[in-house]
């Protein structure tokens, strides 16, 4: 019984001192992507977020191409904290996007390479419905004037 308590105390001490990597406690989810809507109308704006958290040595980040989407805005934030003698990094990337035409489009994964480790998010599928934006622009003058029935 005393040996198990000693092992537990040593484990807690080492984890607080930062000898165990942070990624061990994060459940392997170092890179997470989310969207606020998976189904939108053509021209409707939605939010795509990337959250990265961990202790890294020399990270390189590969973001997906937004082939079928237009980027309206992009916001980035970083924060750092100490875990023992190591620095834990948190990065949040937020994109506001929209599609000009209908279809089912995939936003590829975000990949983070750090020395010999590779972390990858899941791909996200977005269903865009409705008429293409070019056709909607043609209706704008009629909508502005209104109609009489």
What CATH number is attached to the domain comprising 94? 2.60.40.740
What pLDDT was estimated at residue 25? 40
Residue 53 lies in a domain: yes
What pLDDT band is residue 143 in, cutting at 50, 70 and 90?
A: very low
Residue 59 lies in a domain: yes
Beta strands in 9-134 (DSSP E): 31-35, 39-41, 46-55, 59-62, 70-83, 86-98, 103-107, 111-114, 117-120, 124-129
Model confidence over 109-139: pLDDT tens digits? 999 999 889 999 999 999 999 888 775 555 4
Residue 76 lies in a domain: yes
Q: Which residue from 141, 127, 122 is spatially nearest to 44, judged by alpha carbons?
A: 127
Residue tagged 């989310």 (tokens): 34
Residue 2 lies in a domain: no
Residue 83 lies in a domain: yes
Residue 82 lies in a domain: yes
What pLDDT was estimated at residue 29? 72
Stretch (H or E) spanning 145: helix 133-145
Q: Is 140 helix (H, G, I), strand (E, B) or coil?
A: helix
Model confidence over 61-106: pLDDT tens digits? 999 999 999 999 999 999 999 988 889 999 999 999 999 899 999 9
Does residue 28 have a pLDDT over 80?
no
What pLDDT was estimated at residue 84? 87
Residue 93 lies in a domain: yes
Does residue 16 have a pLDDT over 90?
no
Domain that holds residue 105: 29-133
Q: Residues for the chain: how many in total?
A: 149
Residue 148 lies in a domain: no
pTM of the model: 0.71
Distance CA(15)–CA(142), nearest Å, equals: 66
Listed in sequence order, the residues at least 6 apart from 142 whose beta carbon sits closer than 8 Å to its beta carbon are none
Residue tagged 């948190």 (tokens): 90
Tally of domains within the chain? 1
Range with the poorest average pLDDT among 7-11, 37-41, 43-47: 7-11
Distance CA(119)–CA(30), nearest Å, equals: 7
């Amino acid at each position: 019984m005393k040996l198990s308590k000693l092992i537990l105390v040593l484990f807690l001490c080492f984890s607080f001192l930062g000898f165990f990597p942070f990624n061990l406690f994060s459940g392997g989810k170092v890179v997470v992507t989310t969207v606020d809507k998976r189904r939108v109308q053509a021209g409707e704006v939605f939010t795509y977020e990337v959250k990265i958290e961990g202790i890294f040595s020399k990270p390189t980040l590969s973001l997906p191409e937004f082939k079928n989407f237009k980027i309206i805005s992009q916001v980035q934030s970083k924060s750092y904290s100490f875990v023992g003698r190591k620095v834990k990094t948190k990065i949040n990337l937020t994109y506001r996007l929209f599609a000009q035409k209908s279809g089912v489009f995939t936003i590829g994964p975000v990949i983070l390479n750090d020395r010999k480790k590779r972390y990858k998010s899941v791909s996200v599928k977005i269903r865009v419905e409705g008429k293409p934006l070019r056709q909607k622009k043609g209706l704008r003058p009629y909508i502005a004037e209104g109609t009489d029935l």
